[in-house]
């Protein structure tokens, strides 16, 4: 049967489906649904890469293709793994939840792409709000406060220089301005500690707490902080008064000195002011670059939420499109699950019978294979036993043949020795007589200790005139060579 891609995607067996042509369209539809979901997943990944990472199309395309193949195989596995059974819903439930999860993830970039004009408009508003918030934080921060103080000091110095060294308003003197800036935090600290001490002593002016009255360690602590702040305030007030008096006194007598001091202080103030303004400008520029580059999925989701919050139509269509894409992504699983609650079609019945036959055939093949292995093992064991018995029998025969050969050789050696010794007797009679008869001891003499009789052996070392005979050792290699009909090594 010719294979069809949609049939393969549906997980159906072509050989069985060939016998049920009426069910072919159903499984082609399931395969088409799997292909559709994978295609939407690839398109969604393409949009997500372009929106979140600003990836060019030639970089986003291969990644989207890999994602398309991954979702294609995943959906095919989910469809194939859902089968009929007593508890099919337990098997289908986790797969359905997985399909829903992937459906939510895949449908989000598609919805964002459809509402891109509305999202871009809202993103511009978000950027403007963030810029204003950053500028406020930048002006109210430490750098902004220093810039404000230096600008006031620069204005005072310029007025002094413009007036020829005369300070028109003592309150605009840089030292007095700096001293008054220190008064604000100290006055706040004094008032807060005074209220806290009153709360501890009388129970009045309490922001929270039990409001119990009475002097204690906490009261004394607050009073000490209050007195310290008051002391510093008095000291600053004295310095302001002294500076004001100095300005008033010197404005009439030392205009040249005042002008010289202003000219000397102005460049340093302007340099500090320029450096701080540059730092502020760099921070502003960095923020603007980061703010312009913030085009990811999170800011787009935030923009879509804000755009749809006040627009019922936009919110409704957003929900409907999101559900539409999610249902499309889960469509193959939905179709497969719905099939479980209907009567089995012809293909399913044949597939079940085929599965049963496959199980039976597999069991028979397994049993046949085991029996064949047992027979092979039994044959090998019998062959090994026969080989051992044959070797034992051959070893016995070889031993008997070796013994017979040794006996014949020994008999031949004995005959040759006997003939040679008989020939030597006439010439060596005394030697043979002395060696075989002991001398008779004289009467009255002590009998010598008997010496062991030394009889020349017939075989082996020491036999007169006889070559030593050594029985050949039993050579296993020679025995194997005889049995195999080859020359020994």
Instruction: Output the average pLDDT for the chain.
Output: 76
**Cα atoms in the Cβ-side hemisphere of radius 13 Å centred on 81:** 14
| pLDDT beyond 70 at 123 | yes
Instruction: Determine, yes or no, domain membership for 489.
Output: no
Instruction: Determine, yes or no, domain membership for 442.
Output: no
Instruction: Determine, yes or no, domain membership for 477.
Output: no
Task: Spell 175-211 as b/e; 16+ CB within 10 A means b.
Answer: bbbebeeeeeebeebbeebbbbbbbbbeeeebeeeee
456, two tokens: 């020349």
Question: Do 335 and 359 sit in the same domain of this protein?
Answer: no
Instruction: Determine, yes or no, domain membership for 470.
Output: no
Question: Do 268 and 165 sit in the same domain of this protein?
Answer: yes
Instruction: Determine, yes or no, domain membership for 298.
Output: no
**What is the model's pLDDT at position 254?**
62
Question: Do 187 and 276 sit in the same domain of this protein?
Answer: yes
Q: Per-residue pLDDT tens for 375-433?
A: 888 888 888 888 888 888 888 888 889 888 888 898 889 888 888 888 888 888 777 77
Question: Do 158 and 228 sit in the same domain of this protein?
Answer: yes
**What is the model's pLDDT at position 453?**
43
| pLDDT beyond 60 at 271 | yes
Domain limit, last residue, from 399, 427, 455: 427
Q: Per-residue pLDDT tens for 455-479?
A: 444 444 444 444 444 444 445 555 5
Question: Do 153 and 65 sit in the same domain of this protein?
Answer: no
**What is the model's pLDDT at position 117?**
82
DSSP 293: T
Domain limit, last residue, from 395, 427, 459: 427
| pLDDT beyond 90 at 65 | yes
Total of domains in the chain: 3
The residue with tokens 């395309």 is 61
Cβ–Cβ < 8 Å for 27, 347: yes
Entry pTM: 0.44
Q: Which of 247, 248, 196, 187 lies closest to 221 in space, CA to CA?
A: 196
In this predicted structure, which of 76-85, 233-242, 360-369, 412-421 has the lowest mean pLDDT? 76-85
Domain limit, last residue, from 402, 427, 452: 427
Question: Do 322 and 360 sit in the same domain of this protein?
Answer: no
Instruction: Determine, yes or no, domain membership for 378.
Output: yes
Question: Do 353 and 325 sit in the same domain of this protein?
Answer: no
Could you tell me which residue, 62 or 333, shows the higher pLDDT? 62
Expressed as residue numbers, the domain containing 153 is 144-293
Q: Is the dihedral of CA 338, 340, 342, 347 positive or negative?
A: positive
Question: Do 94 and 185 sit in the same domain of this protein?
Answer: no
3-state secondary structure of 360: helix
| Distance between CA atoms of residues 2 and 351, nearest Å | 19
Question: Do 155 and 183 sit in the same domain of this protein?
Answer: yes
Strands (DSSP E) found in 61-156: none
Question: Do 334 and 353 sit in the same domain of this protein?
Answer: no
Q: Per-residue pLDDT tens for 302-319?
A: 887 887 777 778 778 878
Instruction: Determine, yes or no, domain membership for 110.
Output: yes
Instruction: Determine, yes or no, domain membership for 480.
Output: no
| pLDDT beyond 70 at 483 | no
Question: Do 109 and 36 sit in the same domain of this protein?
Answer: yes
Helices 255-292 and 116-140: crossing angle, nearest 10°?
160
**What is the model's pLDDT at position 451?**
47
| Distance between CA atoms of residues 332 and 328, nearest Å | 8
**What is the model's pLDDT at position 464?**
44
| Distance between CA atoms of residues 321 and 115, nearest Å | 10
**What is the model's pLDDT at position 469?**
42
Region for residue 465 given its phi and psi (left: phi exceeds 0; alpha: psi -120 to 50; beta: otherwise): left
Question: Do 191 and 275 sit in the same domain of this protein?
Answer: yes
According to the per-residue pLDDT averaged within each range, which of 110-124, 156-170, 347-361, 378-392 is highest? 378-392
Q: What is the DSSP string of 412-443?
A: HHHHHHHHHHHHHTTTTHHHHHHHHSPPPPPT
């Amino acid at each position: 049967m010719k294979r069809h891609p949609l049939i393969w995607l549906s997980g159906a067996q072509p050989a069985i489906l060939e016998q049920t042509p009426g069910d072919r369209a159903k499984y082609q539809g399931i395969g088409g649904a799997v292909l559709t979901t994978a295609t939407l997943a690839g398109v969604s990944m393409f949009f997500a890469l372009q929106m979140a990472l600003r990836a060019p199309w030639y970089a986003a395309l291969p990644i989207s293709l890999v994602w398309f193949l991954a979702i294609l195989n995943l959906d095919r596995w989910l469809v194939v793994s859902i089968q009929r059974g007593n508890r099919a819903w337990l098997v289908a439930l986790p797969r359905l939840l997985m399909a829903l999860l992937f459906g939510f993830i895949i449908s989000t970039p598609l919805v964002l792409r459809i509402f891109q004009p509305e999202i871009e408009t809202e993103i511009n508003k978000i950027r403007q709000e963030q810029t204003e918030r950053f500028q406020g934080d930048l002006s109210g921060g430490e750098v902004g406060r220093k810039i404000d103080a230096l600008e006031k000091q620069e204005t005072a110095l310029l007025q002094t220089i413009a007036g020829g060294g005369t300070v028109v308003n003592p309150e605009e003197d840089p030292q007095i301005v700096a001293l008054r800036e220190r008064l604000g935090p100290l006055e706040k600290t004094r008032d807060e500690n005074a209220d806290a001490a009153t709360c501890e002593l009388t129970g009045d002016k309490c922001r929270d707490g039990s409001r119990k009255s009475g002097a204690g360690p906490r009261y004394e602590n607050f009073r000490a902080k209050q007195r310290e702040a008051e002391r510093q305030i008095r000291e600053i007030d004295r310095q302001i008064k002294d500076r004001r008096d100095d300005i008033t006194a010197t404005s009439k007598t030392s205009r040249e000195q005042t002008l010289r001091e202003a000219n000397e202080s102005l460049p340093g103030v302007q340099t500090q002011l320029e450096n701080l303004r540059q730092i502020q400008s760099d921070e502003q520029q960095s923020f603007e670059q980061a703010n312009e580059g913030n085009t990811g999925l999170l800011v787009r989701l935030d923009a879509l939420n804000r755009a749809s919050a006040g627009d019922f139509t936009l919110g409704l269509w957003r929900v409907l499109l999101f559900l539409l894409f999610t249902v499309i992504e889960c469509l193959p699983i939905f179709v497969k699950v719905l099939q479980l609650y209907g009567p089995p079609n012809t293909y399913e019945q044949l597939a079940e019978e085929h599965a049963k036959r496959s199980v039976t055939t597999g069991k028979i093949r397994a049993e046949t294979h085991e029996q064949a292995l047992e027979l092979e093992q039994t044959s090998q064991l019998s062959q090994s036993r026969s080989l051992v018995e044959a070797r034992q029998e051959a070893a016995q025969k070889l031993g008997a043949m070796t013994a017979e050969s040794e006996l014949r050789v020994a008999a031949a050696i004995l005959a040759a020795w006997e003939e040679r010794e008989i020939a030597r007797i006439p010439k060596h009679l005394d030697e043979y007589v002395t060696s075989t008869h002991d001398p008779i001891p004289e009467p009255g003499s002590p009998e010598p200790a008997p010496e062991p009789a030394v009889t020349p052996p017939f075989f082996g070392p020491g036999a007169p005139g006889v070559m030593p005979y050594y029985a050949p050792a039993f050579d296993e290699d020679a025995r194997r060579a005889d049995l195999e009909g080859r020359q020994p090594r």
